[in-house]
Structure 1
């Protein structure tokens, strides 16, 4: 069994780290998350001593239709790094009805603000986890792709076995299946898993249980928390034509 480096390190980090985990629940593209953190880091280094009057003016400017999108992103980030409770409340209000083009940025700012405030108030280590697929509570969302052995179409009983075994095992592991679709020769699902779940072992065990009824599932599967795969990406994986810039992690 082999596991890609980044995903293996991620799992190792989750299993060994103690602290209070915070999961970004919204689905924010990884590229935009990196853009946000880069900007936020630069803003903290500026170390500008904003006053309450400044914050009030920023809030006014945030809702001003004449303010540019770039300036509004800066305002949201200022609120996030300010370690100011009132600014956190401002972010909470704003994410209730954000401008569409600022939605992802606003959610990122709210999460960062919460982490910074809790770090000051709590003695526990605050750990922030953000993935492209987001999560819910203390669970992360993953996309899983399972292939039929030798790409043979599933029989009706095999479809039922997949649905039954995954539903049973995932529930026992405190995972929530949001979607499970059995296609002609592959199955994919979207599932919320507790942060410290040993995903590799869990899926291997379920595949093993399914294959008790005939070796109809391939032991190789694909798991990613970056995005859901589209039909072209699925076809490339199934036919062994995965490109270098594809994002899934493959278990073998």
Structure 2
């Protein structure tokens, strides 16, 4: 395995680089940011809907629905990746339909990496947004309804602004979780340089390569810095949103 890694032009080039970030490491960093950003943006509307349903609506099978949403938190990531492979792969139940009719393929592409990251991070996003929905004073919504506002207008102008701290927090936590996703990604889309090799997968390649410990450490430090920045940004934005909503109330 080490020989194949050393023959990788992306990897061998990075081993010879003395710059702050080699082309290989920069490609992995940019791909990670791209995958995580798309994963969060694409899953946010569904996350808000699911969080609202869990926080406000009582319906048969709610406990099962809640469990299914949080299932990726307790499943081994490899299981998530395998399930994606048999459903969204080229020959999968859904993947074959998407490819035959729309030419859209998720397996072995960055789109698949974004899908895997979104699924793994989705429960964390829903959890944060749901808690924010549960803290909204229903009397404010009821007062707006008695003044003639429609349910949709109340939701957009009152409920969403009041839940913005949870939405912001959920987005950033999901983003940070997506950056660190490894198991489901490598199972579903493999470890392809420039296409699916995110920071965790690049670190894995370095760890498997003799003499590449320094490069692995650099990516480790980058991952820690990005994670810390994400958490600090989440705290700052949440506090700012809380102050804004408090002034509105």
Query: Between Structure 1 and Structure 2, which shows a larger proportion of helix residues?
Result: 2
Bigger relative contact order, structure 1 or 2 (CA pairs below 8 A, ≥6 apart): 2
Query: Between Structure 1 and Structure 2, which shows a larger proportion of strand residues?
Result: 1
Question: TM-score normalized by structure 2?
Answer: 0.24
Question: TM-score normalized by structure 1?
Answer: 0.23
